[in-house]
Structure 1
């Protein structure tokens, strides 16, 4: 069932309505961030009007390959995940946690960082990324040790989701049950439709503030033709996924293949560069760095992203716990697809395919999962024989 089937309180806007949406969100004091073309890619950046959206642009994706391509239909959201995710704004790569100063009498005063954060409006959140935000919500705000820096950004965020109608060659959200229809958690949801009746967007509200914004938009009541077209576009996208995961319990697969030969094969190619963790919308690991000025009277603690592919990530006095590339890749994959369930109640993978596209040697997590499953099948057959 698609998102447009779940909510009958919907409306239709055109390109002028999209421009009005950005204007209304800005007038409400929000910093609007959305997709735009820059430096040969579709990136996420602050935008001030609809003209900055990537109308008429799409992407070609493959393992280790990303290419911006022109489209002839003028679509704004007919592209797949780019090099960034919304994690960049909600869980920034670098955050100052506190500063300390020594005064004239030698007393050290520590001040927690309280730099104001923007009230964001995210325009164009894909279903897979909407699920990724929900995953990070559980990781960074659930449990005993919540991340106050994340919570401040997340509490004020307004999410405009866009259902996927154009999956990329590296997308596998259907396998992870994260798309292409939008799930819960949005304030507004859009489905882009281009056909003989024109270029328009089906819009529905998912929150009180979303309904208030929708009421301000220049719109018309949704008609059955637009609803049907939106539903069909999303259903067609579900049938055109570029990748799949094996149809098995991935938790069990990861647990039963810890000693598989395939780990040696993949890590013979892996550079342990950490690109996959940097572009992943759910990876959250960080470390801290303390810096001081030359006088020693001022110091700061900064938190920044870290990767489990870093050899020193598990460093203890006797050395790194995971010293080999094999152990580090296996840790990332088994955590993402398996033991994440034990910690947080869901998979850590949302099927966006970024780790495949932005791996410099084109390692494909879906290919590795299929290979592990085949090897497990051969081992089971040999044992039975």
Structure 2
């Protein structure tokens, strides 16, 4: 696992240098995961080299809409975030907890040891690093540690990326989660494309990152390189597609628990759980029991679940949140308000996935701003 950033001098590599980086990581026995085009989207998958990256591709994102488009340059990272988050490799969607088998009067129980595959993630954005830090606190930062997440997390090498493009649904600036990467990485890239060069400013953020950087064909960065990288991040920050209201959002939502907006959004919400599945910080799971008809074998599995499902809050007598409005309110107030009480931060990093991948285009920033505007207009808060 990476440590706090170190301050070594920045270097510059070209596309071949990036290919060498991927090769070096594979040479360490790591499975290298990076962006690739599949199924009409840019997803995270295993890559062998730069030839697998989405060269010259970008994405257009709006509420309920995602489309790939060609770029007029050969950028390898010229897009925002897609439907996948790195959560799927660290807090895996399905996990066998234990298996039991009965032979006569003897019962044996096998609990698989936590897997710790050697992986390297290429192109981790600032918002995604913020999301990983949140899951670190949730799943390893308390008295009860998830050993499966911890094992995977400790064996992951993170190659971060300063964003060169803001998506139409991004709002990381207003969540103080990007687009500039500041911590939590092993190596950091900024893609710089000019009329005569295609290069990457590369910086180390851990001893492991510094050791790997020393192996790459690189030259020292000039002030012009550093200025160009800063200009890219500044431009991206100025082109956010969305923004949260600049006020105390937790207090705003908690004094409006009976606001009419919850019912209005429920008329559109399908309660499909897409928003929680694509969210890089949501961590809810359920446990399933499996057994054969002979009563010889049984198993317990854990899989992702969502507060949008009726069964998630089911207790004896029925569901605690039987209506769509109550489930949407639970998700949004937990994400933006009560998460602060539990974990000390917001549960949202402004990546915009929940907006893009909502089938009906519900926008968490629009809903929050609407509640805020209703107070400004003199409507007061809904539970007064």
Q: What band does the TM-score fall into relative to the shorter chain?
A: over 0.9
Cα shift at 1:7: 4.3
Report deviation, 1:380: 5.8
Q: CA RMSD in A?
A: 1.6
Within 2, Cα distance between the matches of 1:289 and 1:379? 48
- Distance in structure 2 (CA, Å) of the matches to 1:328 and 1:196: 51
The alpha-carbon distance between structure 1 residues 6 and 98, as it changes in their structure 2 partners (threshold 3 A), is closer
Aligned residue for 2:12? 12
Q: 1:180-329, aligned counterparts within 5 Å?
A: 180-329=179-328
Tell me the alpha carbon deviations over residues 241-294 of structure 1, each in whole angstroms, 9 at most, x when there is no partner: 010111111111111111111111111100000000000000000001111234
Once the two structures are superposed, residues 332-372 of structure 1 have per-residue CA deviations (whole angstroms, 9 ceiling, x without a partner) of 00000000000000000000000000000000000001001
CA contact (8 A) 2:261 2:371 kept: yes
Deviation at 1:296, TM superposition (A): 2.2
Secondary structure of the residue that 1:216 maps to in structure 2?
Answer: coil
1:69 alignment counterpart = 69
Mapped contact 2:374–2:380 kept (Cα < 8 A): no
The residue aligned with 1:336 is: 335
* Equivalent-residue separation in structure 1 for 2:105 and 2:378 (angstroms): 68
* Structure 2 contact 255–381 (Cα < 8 Å) conserved: no
Question: What is aligned with 1:35?
Answer: 35
Aligned length: 378
Residue of structure 2 equivalent to 1:121: 120
- Check whether the contact 1:81–1:354 (CA below 8 A) recurs between aligned residues: yes
The change in CA–CA distance for 1:148 and 1:115 in structure 2 (over 3 A counts) is: closer
CA distance in 1 between partners of 2:204 and 2:268 (Å): 46
Per the TM alignment, residue 119 of structure 1 is displaced from its structure 2 partner at its CA by: 1.0
Shift of 1:234: 0.4
**Is residue 2:79 matched to residue 1:79?**
yes
Counterparts of 1:115 and 1:208, CA distance in 2: 26
Query: Is the Cα–Cα contact under 8 Å of residues 131 and 183 in structure 1 kept in the other structure?
Result: no
Q: Separation in 1 of the partners of 2:210 and 2:129?
A: 19
Alignment of 1:337-376 (within 5 A): 337-376=336-375
Aligned counterpart, 1:60:
60
Q: Deviations over 1:27-60 (max 9, x none)?
A: 1111100001112111100111111011101100
What SS class does the counterpart of residue 354 from structure 2 fall into?
helix
* Unmatched runs of 5 consecutive residues or more in structure 2: none
Q: Secondary structure at the match of 1:265?
A: helix
Partner in structure 2 of residue 151 of structure 1: 150
- Structure 2 CA distance for aligned equivalents of residues 350 and 8 of structure 1: 28
Q: What does residue 97 of structure 1 align with?
A: 97
Distance in 1 between the 2:187 and 2:35 partners?
A: 16
> Is contact 1:260–1:375 with CA below 8 Å preserved after alignment?
no
TM-score (ref. length: structure 1):
0.96
For each residue in 1:95-116, what CA deviation from the matched residue of structure 2 results, as whole angstroms up to 9, or x when unmatched?
101111113x321111111264
